[in-house]
Amino acid sequence: MTTTINNTERVFQIRYGGFNQVFCNIRDLNKIILELNLKAGYYKIYHFIDCQPKLLSQNLLSKMLAALEIKQEFYYQSHF
């Protein structure tokens, strides 16, 4: 899997399987989660505020995707 980070957009971090992680922009979230076959509850998505990672809630993710008119093709469970 190859992604290209656009530094003019917000960067997201997907953590899964212990120490595995992927960085991407919001437009690549569907592609990465489906390609890695990640299941809800077994991964977390973080966004960065003041250079610090913060867990992304399902509500905020839905709002961000809707604002960019991107259909969410995966199920995300931010609270465990």
The residue ranges of every structural domain in the chain are 11-67
Question: What is the per-residue pLDDT for 47?
Answer: 96
- pLDDT over 90 at 18, yes or no: no
CA dist 43 and 52 (Å) reads: 18
Q: CA distances (Å), 66 to each of 41, 47, 71, in order?
A: 22, 17, 7
What is the reported pTM? 0.91
Each residue of 25-49: pLDDT tens digit?
999 999 999 999 999 989 999 999 9
- pLDDT over 60 at 80, yes or no: no
Nearest CA to 10 out of 32, 22, 33, 27 is that of 27
Q: Which single residue is written with the structure tokens 């899997």?
A: 1
With beta carbons less than 8 A apart as the criterion, state whether 5 and 24 touch.
yes
Nearest CA to 30 out of 66, 77, 79, 71 is that of 71
